Structure 1
Amino acid sequence: MYYIEVIVPLPISKTLTYQVSYDEYKMLLRGFRVAVTVGKSKIYSGIVFEKHQNVPDLFHPKPIHSILDDKPIVTKSQLELWDWVSKYYLTSIGIVMKAAMPSAYLLSSESILTCNIYEIEKSNEISDNEFLIYEAIKTNDLSVKELNNLFKSNKTIRYIKQLINLGYISIKQKFIEKFKEKKKPYLRINSKYLVKSKLKNLINTLEKKAPKQKQIILSYLALKDDSNWISQKKIKIQTSSPNSSFKSLLRKKIFDKKNISESRLNFDFEENLSEYSLTKEQLIAYDEIKEKFRQNNVVLFRGVTSSGKTEVYFKLIDEIIKKNKQVLYLVPEISITAQMVTRLRVRFGSKVLVYHSRFNNNERAEMWSKIIKNDINAKIILGARSSIFLPFKNLGLIVVDEEHESSFKQFDPSPRYHARDLAIYLGKILKIKTLLGSATPSAESYNNMINGKYGYVELLVRYRGLKMPKISIIDLKEEIRRKKNDEFFSDNLIMKINETIRIGKKIIIFKNRRGYAPSIECNSCGYIPKCENCDVTLTYHQYSNKLVCHYCGFSNFYDKRCLKCSDVDLTIKGFGTQKIEEKIQEIIPNALVERMDYDSTRKKNSFDQIIKNFESGESNILIGTQMVSKGLDFKNVGLVVIISADNLINFPDFRSHERCFQILSQVAGRAGRSDERGEVILQTYNSKHILIKQIANNDFQEMIANQLKERKLFKYPPFVRLIKVILKSKNYENLQISSKWLGNVLKNFFGNNLLGPVSPYISKIRNDHLINIIIKYDEKTSRSKTKKILTKVVKSFQSISTFRSVKIIIDVDPQ
């Protein structure tokens, strides 16, 4: 007997066993896609994980439904990575599969209603509604969804059940293919008109009677190649002919027509074959990276902002693709790296493939197919975190740019993986090198470098020897004391902004809060509007005139009255990017202002347009959130303004100082990237804070040394690992009881290495109350044993009936 283990895209803790014939066993390899029945009748597409001849003891396996492909669509290294992710991040391998593959490949059957008896008369045993449903199904097999749409009702299910009980209809499973090839009409002239005399007669005839049709034929002849099949769209663009002219030519059998498959992806980019030379400092860094790769599989590359790290990446990439290998270039967020896409395509042309979640299912399936074939158009894959799961056929190098970014960590939905860590593990599986790049490396990566796990290379000189921007600190407490500040713009800052605009330079203003103001308070009753679903205040958005929750999207119209006492005496507290934009236009009326935040970049291409306007000079002041700091390279930026650093420093998280330094250093690095030294103005109420001094002095070494010292003392990463257990429930009392039970049981195993249960900073989101429990474990503690204990305790928790309404989320290595 022959068996296969199959991964199905469901939250099932292990693979499912199915029986196959000898011929199927011989044909199937790991990574093949098969259709299998799960439960009584539901069919899913699954991936073959392994095959064997071990007869199961406790059950008789079902046969597979069918084999869906003629070769594997998932590689062995992918399956190994999926298995590791499921074990390390405590999630099912089916959920990993669902996250990893384009949904066009994740097929499942749909319940279809079909008629059993085709001739019945209206009788007392069925109602009018049941008879109408029966008549509809008799005409055509329908799904429940189609029936609901047809009858404009969601209550058809009870009528369907009655018809099934009476035997008039039954349910069958229909397996639906999601991927659809893109096909376009192509034309070929009828072979009899390839004879010159007949073609001449045809053109003469059409010239008098149908000049548009004559134009189409002449255009076809001009475009014709060896295949004789020419795209109808091409001819239409050239001739501007109506569809009726094409239909007439087809009706007269002058043209033959067929639909030919076309790619949805655009690879019409020319490669720049010019030689690119590195600066002396970049060349030294490049040689050092090559040398370190001989000793280490992972190299941490620290290059200050505007040092030209990207050029070093490109040199390494060029070397790899010349060997006919692939390169994975991971970036934190694809939506904000438009400039990187352009730079890669200018250098490497159509060899660059961009992969991210904004592509539709069919486009992603096409990309998957190109990558597994090692296609010429898929040599360099630029992508966000999900691209780590792609089916690389011949991967030669992984580059993780801005490796410190928390965006590489997936939170919802599961699996809650960190793409940087997966990149390192994938490199280990494939025995290839991984390069981690950043101007401000994460504490975890830096500590691994200190311990000798990673090689280390520095590039501390800016491109062309430009100086790092001058960072000036403005003490807002002092400004208030001297009454020299206007709300959030100090006098010195206003003067500097005016001066920068006057000399024709551009300005970037950073504030890590979108909207107009974080809250509004009534001066009569003290009421501050809060979200109905979350434990947060509503943010005022001036352009929509709404109070909006940034967690669940709940909103209220703002009519400038207190929602509780109706008084109009209200105070706007704090400020966001919208308010800064309004204030700038007030104090500098001739300024050309653009705002870059989540609200202003929702529309398609809006982000690219904002960048284009700022680059071309159509705007000279760019106000934004963290978006302005990541992967953007602007010329002629003379001034960067950090409106307030205090909210980042004081955020209640052990990583807040590290993150504050990283964000503000990245923002500051946008200044002075062309010919002249730039300037950064940082406003704060705490100018004496050690972190402010470190930022002003660009002193990464001191900051990271302090952070590592503190974390070692208080037992935080990178010296211990964390597992966060999040409990969610709409019932607050039940959540309290259940979290105490779980906390007490875990305390028996982990003792003082357990923190909590405790409510988080925001204790309710989308009507779910939240409680956190954190487990710490160090290198001396067995990782697998810790996870095994946690899994066992959670399983016991879920078996208690009163706790079943409480959802548990396990987040390994939370960020």
Structure 2
Amino acid sequence: MMRARVLANIPVDKEFDYAVPPSLEEKVKPGVRVAVPFGNREITAFVIDVFPDDVLKDEIKNERELKDIKRAIDKEPVFSPREVELAKWMAAFYFCSPGEALSVMVPGGRRDVGVPAFAVEDELTDGSVELTGEQEAAIASISSASHAMYYLYGVTGSGKSEVFFRAARHVVDSGRQVIYLVPEITLTHQLSRMVACRFPGRVAVLHSALTASQRIDQWKRILRGEVDMIIGARSAVFAPCPRLGMIIIDEEHENSYKAGSTPRYHARQVAQKRCADAGATLVMGSATPSLEAWKLMHEDSGMLKLELPQRVGGGRPPVMEVVDMLRENRMISRRLEEEMRLVLGRGKQVILFLNRRGYSYFFHCATCGYEMSCPHCSVSLTYHKNEAMMVCHYCGYTRSPVTVCPDCGSLDVGYSGFGTEMVEQEVARMFPSASLARLDTDSTRDRDAMALVLEDFRHGKIDILLGTQMVAKGLNFPGVELVGVVLADSGLNVPDFRSREHTFSLLVQVSGRAGRYNDKGRVVVQTYKPGNEAVTAACAGDVDGFYDRELDARRETGFPPYGRMVNLVVRGRNKDKAETEAARLAEICESTVSALVRRNPGRKDLPEVFGTSSCPVEKIAGNWRFHVLLRGMSPALLHQMIGAVVRQYKAPSGIYMEIDIDPLHLL
């Protein structure tokens, strides 16, 4: 009898054995997925080994009879020992199970289907662009592979993508593969079009807009070595390249490279691990690097900084102007309206950015002060006028709007604040003859809708593009001469130590969409906080100064990148039980630190425990949330401490603990 050893997508760090029925012996092999009985249910498992029973003859004498594998899902392996080893590293680093790590790597599709062909535009993809001296120097340096890591630090519009393409071409010509990561699916669409001609027939795309079956089809092509260039968002970092030579992380600073559910991996950390194992080069780039990358470039020797200080194609940095909205009583200020009319009158295009979807986000009663919140989350419901619904953006709960206060019966009720829907309505009223499109997750739920909007905007069929973060980064449209930031403050109001960094980065990035091919680019930033340093530094183009001041503040407080952080979140439907368990967890953390102190007397870099408190968003999807925040100057000691805590703390029924290593936010 043959047996198969498998990993399963469950939070248990254990391998399981199943019997392989004779009818499946030809189909069950390492690297395939199988359906197995687990308790009273059937789950998908990953086969990591197959061997005869007699190999373990001494170990299995007292073992209960093995359950049979039900069926094989794949006809050919969909992962290799490389992926298994990476999953085990992730399990150790992010405190998840190897099965959970492997399940997030391998797409869930089961059948092979075609992927839509790329729309090729030769003027963008023929690689005949004339390079600047800085670009040529950067390409030569990366191609020499004299360093393990490079950072391409260049202003928006400085031609970073062209450097990435030429460096990738060098790697591909040497017979190796390249993974090219972008933070947003919108950028995946644009990038796919740009590389289709340079690597004809040898490009694979991995992103969430593909069906699961389309993703597994691409995944298999990569595994078979039929692909030279892999393009995708965060999860594409796991592409099973047998000949990996380079990983490129474009817009490295973006939060979307960090996963929001277990395992909470960061694509940058996984990329570093993969490149180190494969002897590959890691190349990152941004106009607004993360503070972690900025510190590496300036204070450590592990990464070489390459600079592109000038825009290419005749573009100049846009003129940026701040409008104090305390003096306005409208969504679109008079100044922004004036600039929009001038630009549209010249036949050019406008991008409007607002990082808040929906129509309005706050329903309240002026009589009793009632606020309409989600019954499952401690957040206000957002009014979506197009759907005539109040929606929770955390759990998806919906309810119909009301005209009478549910608490006191008053008719003096209304909505406050505004989202992209309301701005869209106002802009359409102000500019009735202009064509307008909205790009957010509400307006582009169809997989093809987003690509269609971007193509229409690129070809001048749309005059004004309004959107959330989808329009803020990476996109390159020659006709855009004006960017309007409808409200710059939403990120500044977040109770998080990174809020200024994120706001600064977003403003610099969105401003980079204007005037990329001429000197007429303008940016109008509307804000209620015109004196905030993130706003003033972004508008002044003072990138270096802002980063240096922010690093000084982080150094003094011990926050990342000078200290490492871990966020332990305890959640459960019973508030008192969850709070009690969070306090118990904090006590275990404190006792673990005390033990470290005894074993390491005099050390100044031991972890700290900040106690327990409710999360800023205290309730999500019916679960009450409390967290214990840990900080340490020594990553090794902090990791050692978390390992000891995980071994000691066992959550009771109905309580769950989430471990977030190096959290990007504490909400």
TM-score norm. by structure 1 comes to 0.73
Match of 1:345 in 2: 196
Post-superposition offset of 1:663: 0.8
Post-superposition offset of 1:40: 9.6
SS at match of 1:682: strand
The residue type equivalent to 1:747 in the other structure is: E
Q: 2:88 aligns with which of 83, 90, 93?
A: 83
2:19–2:68 contact (8 Å) kept in structure 1: no
The residue type equivalent to 2:236 in the other structure is: S
Asked if residue 364 in structure 1 is aligned to residue 364 in structure 2, the reply is no
1:20 and 1:750, CA in 2 relative to 1: closer, same or farther beyond 3 A? same
Q: 2:231 aligns with which of 373, 379, 382?
A: 382
Larger radius of gyration: 1
Deviations 1:53-81 (A, max 9, x none): 67538954867957967875422322221
Asked if residue 97 in structure 1 is aligned to residue 102 in structure 2, the reply is yes
2:111–2:217 contact (8 Å) kept in structure 1: no
Post-superposition offset of 1:780: 6.6
2:319–2:523 contact (8 Å) kept in structure 1: yes
1:271–1:350 contact (8 Å) kept in structure 2: no
Equivalent-residue separation in structure 2 for 1:428 and 1:593 (angstroms): 47
The residue type equivalent to 2:515 in the other structure is: G
Deviations 1:376-396 (A, max 9, x none): xx2211112222223212122
Asked if residue 647 in structure 1 is aligned to residue 495 in structure 2, the reply is no
Asked if residue 539 in structure 1 is aligned to residue 382 in structure 2, the reply is yes
Post-superposition offset of 1:616: 2.6
1:88 and 1:502, CA in 2 relative to 1: closer, same or farther beyond 3 A? same
Match of 1:56 in 2: 59
Q: Quick one: higher RCO (CA 8 Å, sep 6+), 1 or 2?
A: 2
1:275 and 1:640, CA in 2 relative to 1: closer, same or farther beyond 3 A? closer
Asked if residue 319 in structure 1 is aligned to residue 170 in structure 2, the reply is yes
Equivalent-residue separation in structure 2 for 1:268 and 1:441 (angstroms): 30
Equivalent-residue separation in structure 1 for 2:62 and 2:292 (angstroms): 47
The residue type equivalent to 2:246 in the other structure is: L
- May I ask how many residue pairs the two structures share in their alignment? 641
SS at match of 2:200: helix
Equivalent-residue separation in structure 2 for 1:476 and 1:38 (angstroms): 59
Post-superposition offset of 1:368: 2.3
The residue type equivalent to 1:794 in the other structure is: Y
Q: Which stretches in structure 1 are left out of the alignment for 5+ residues?
A: 105-178, 182-262
The residue type equivalent to 2:660 in the other structure is: D
Deviations 1:670-705 (A, max 9, x none): 000123330111122332222222101211111111
1:3 and 1:446, CA in 2 relative to 1: closer, same or farther beyond 3 A? farther
Deviations 1:760-782 (A, max 9, x none): 21111111111111111222752
Match of 2:11 in 1: 11
Q: Tell me which moved more, 494-503 or 77-86.
A: 494-503
TM-score norm. by structure 2 comes to 0.89
1:436 and 1:616, CA in 2 relative to 1: closer, same or farther beyond 3 A? same
Match of 1:782 in 2: 637
Higher share in helix: 1
2:313–2:517 contact (8 Å) kept in structure 1: no
Deviations 1:216-241 (A, max 9, x none): xxxxxxxxxxxxxxxxxxxxxxxxxx
Match of 1:584 in 2: 427
Equivalent-residue separation in structure 2 for 1:593 and 1:36 (angstroms): 52
Match of 1:191 in 2: none
Alignment map for 1:165-204 (pairs within 5 Å): 179-180=110-111
1:388–1:422 contact (8 Å) kept in structure 2: yes
Identity of aligned residues (%): 30
Q: 1:289 aligns with which of 134, 137, 142?
A: 142
Match of 2:620 in 1: 765
The residue type equivalent to 2:654 in the other structure is: S
Post-superposition offset of 1:25: 12
Match of 2:46 in 1: 46
Asked if residue 424 in structure 1 is aligned to residue 272 in structure 2, the reply is yes
Equivalent-residue separation in structure 1 for 2:637 and 2:354 (angstroms): 43
Match of 2:599 in 1: none
Alignment map for 1:636-715 (pairs within 5 Å): 636-715=479-558
Post-superposition offset of 1:276: 1.9
Equivalent-residue separation in structure 1 for 2:645 and 2:316 (angstroms): 52
Q: 1:506 aligns with which of 349, 353, 358?
A: 349
Equivalent-residue separation in structure 2 for 1:379 and 1:80 (angstroms): 23
Match of 1:229 in 2: none
Q: 2:241 aligns with which of 378, 386, 392?
A: 392
Equivalent-residue separation in structure 1 for 2:348 and 2:28 (angstroms): 64
Equivalent-residue separation in structure 1 for 2:61 and 2:292 (angstroms): 46
Equivalent-residue separation in structure 2 for 1:56 and 1:782 (angstroms): 36
1:702 and 1:727, CA in 2 relative to 1: closer, same or farther beyond 3 A? same
Match of 1:728 in 2: 571
1:20–1:63 contact (8 Å) kept in structure 2: no
Equivalent-residue separation in structure 1 for 2:244 and 2:309 (angstroms): 30
Match of 1:459 in 2: 308
1:732 and 1:590, CA in 2 relative to 1: closer, same or farther beyond 3 A? same
2:31–2:46 contact (8 Å) kept in structure 1: no
Equivalent-residue separation in structure 2 for 1:517 and 1:38 (angstroms): 46
1:520 and 1:434, CA in 2 relative to 1: closer, same or farther beyond 3 A? same
SS at match of 2:515: coil
2:610–2:629 contact (8 Å) kept in structure 1: yes
Equivalent-residue separation in structure 2 for 1:712 and 1:360 (angstroms): 45
Equivalent-residue separation in structure 2 for 1:559 and 1:9 (angstroms): 43
1:567 and 1:589, CA in 2 relative to 1: closer, same or farther beyond 3 A? farther
Equivalent-residue separation in structure 1 for 2:620 and 2:484 (angstroms): 33
Equivalent-residue separation in structure 2 for 1:51 and 1:57 (angstroms): 13
Q: 1:304 aligns with which of 155, 169, 182?
A: 155
2:314–2:519 contact (8 Å) kept in structure 1: no
The residue type equivalent to 2:87 in the other structure is: W
Alignment map for 1:475-490 (pairs within 5 Å): 475-477=324-326, 480=327, 485-490=328-333
Q: Which stretches in structure 2 are left out of the alignment for 5+ residues?
A: 595-606
Post-superposition offset of 1:504: 1.8
The residue type equivalent to 1:745 in the other structure is: I
SS at match of 2:615: coil
1:443–1:704 contact (8 Å) kept in structure 2: yes
1:535–1:764 contact (8 Å) kept in structure 2: yes
1:102–1:364 contact (8 Å) kept in structure 2: yes
Post-superposition offset of 1:34: 6.9
Match of 1:276 in 2: 128
Deviations 1:323-377 (A, max 9, x none): 33221111112255321111111332322111123333332332222111111xx
The residue type equivalent to 2:191 in the other structure is: M
1:430 and 1:28, CA in 2 relative to 1: closer, same or farther beyond 3 A? farther
Equivalent-residue separation in structure 2 for 1:402 and 1:268 (angstroms): 23
1:331–1:383 contact (8 Å) kept in structure 2: yes
Match of 1:616 in 2: 459
1:19–1:61 contact (8 Å) kept in structure 2: no
Deviations 1:163-203 (A, max 9, x none): xxxxxxxxxxxxxxxx346xxxxxxxxxxxxxxxxxxxxxx
Equivalent-residue separation in structure 2 for 1:758 and 1:733 (angstroms): 13
Equivalent-residue separation in structure 1 for 2:448 and 2:456 (angstroms): 12
Asked if residue 748 in structure 1 is aligned to residue 601 in structure 2, the reply is no
Equivalent-residue separation in structure 1 for 2:104 and 2:402 (angstroms): 43
Equivalent-residue separation in structure 1 for 2:426 and 2:105 (angstroms): 45
Asked if residue 373 in structure 1 is aligned to residue 216 in structure 2, the reply is no
SS at match of 1:486: coil
Post-superposition offset of 1:603: 2.5
Match of 1:121 in 2: none
Equivalent-residue separation in structure 1 for 2:257 and 2:397 (angstroms): 27
